A and B are shown apart, each in its own frame.
Chain A
Amino acid sequence: MEIMIKGPGEVVICLIDGKGKTFLQESLRTSGSPNVHTRRPISLMLQTRRGHLPVVPVLVRCGEKQQVTFEGEEPAVFTQRRCREVGCSDAVAEEAARGRAALLRADPARPPGQIPARP
């Protein structure tokens, strides 16, 4: 799937499974003129320990002056259709289309840049 962003600012996207759990969270910040464009191809299939997992992209946040499309469509429209494809419940699909997904929080005990302690 192709994400297109027009304009500078920050976009946050989560990939969720059919139950609404977030598996990937990505923040894309672009700087430049008001005419700057960003293209980000992203796979809608993740590999997990349990095998292939189809996921749904959710646009959680974007700048006021930014325009975002998923495969050339409004993100909410694409998200809802993809939710039907992966078998989300109505409640999950509705929340996702509204841009609501649980954010993955960095573990404060393991900030980026440090090797995690072995168990």
Chain B
Amino acid sequence: MALGSTMLQLSVKQELDQEVSEVDEFFAEVFEFLSLGTVTVREVALEKAGGISGDNAAIPIDYSDTGFATLRLLFGSKEEVFFLAPSHVPSPPVSGAGLALLEAFDARVISSGTNLFVSRRLGAHAYFDEF
């Protein structure tokens, strides 16, 4: 139960065999229960390295903006407040949340008949204080 300062962090490295011709959208979430106190989110961030290229149509392998991350604060009443990455300044205080949920997404890619070389790495983190 997360009173005090808390970090949620997720790092993913995904590699595929060259016979795979379609790379699914990536989604994962990391969560921690809260104590219904007052939460201030200090930072939410996501970074991606690696990438995807095909035999005939090279997509630059570089840092990419296709990754997407959110931190959601969920309440018992099914309401929620969410914060988008990147954010590096303290949020307004939010009271009464029961769950902090860090979600990371990345795009789906389909090859048009060529091999894909895939190695992608995503990292997302969120820092928040609960008092």
B107 interface residue, CB < 8 Å from A?
A: no
Instruction: Determine which of A27, A37, A43, A116 lies in contact with B117 in the assembled complex, contact meaning CB atoms within 8 Å.
Output: A116
Is there an interface contact between A49 and B31, defined as CB atoms closer than 8 Å? no
User: Which residues of A41-75 are within 8 A (CB) of B?
Assistant: 41-43, 46-50
Cβ 8 A contact of A30, one of B2, B9, B13: B9
Query: B9's contact among A24, A31, A106, by CB below 8 Å, is which?
Result: A31
Within 8 A of A (CB), among B67-90: none
B48-65 CB mask vs A (1 if < 8 Å, else 0) is 011101010010111000
| B10–A47 CB distance below 8 A | no
Asked if A49 meets B13 with Cβ closer than 8 Å, knowing A37-B31, A38-B29, A112-B49, the reply is no
Interface contact A49-B28, CB-CB below 8 Å: no
- Bound complex: CA A50 to CA B19 (Å): 8
Determine if B38 is an interface residue (Cβ-Cβ < 8 Å): no
- Which of these, A29, A43, A48, contacts B21 with CB under 8 Å? A48
Q: Does B113 contact A (CB under 8 A)?
A: yes
Q: Are A40 and B28 in contact (CB under 8 A)?
A: yes
8 Å CB contact of B12 from A26, A46, A110:
A26
- Partner-B contacts on A (CB < 8 A): 21-33, 35-43, 46-50, 104, 106, 110, 112-116, 118-119
Residues of chain B touching chain A, judged by Cβ–Cβ distance below 8 Å, are 1-2, 6-17, 19-22, 24, 27-33, 49-51, 53, 55, 58, 60-62, 110, 113, 115, 117, 119-121, 125
Q: List 6 A-B contacts (CB under 8 A).
A: A27-B13, A29-B10, A32-B32, A36-B8, A39-B29, A112-B120
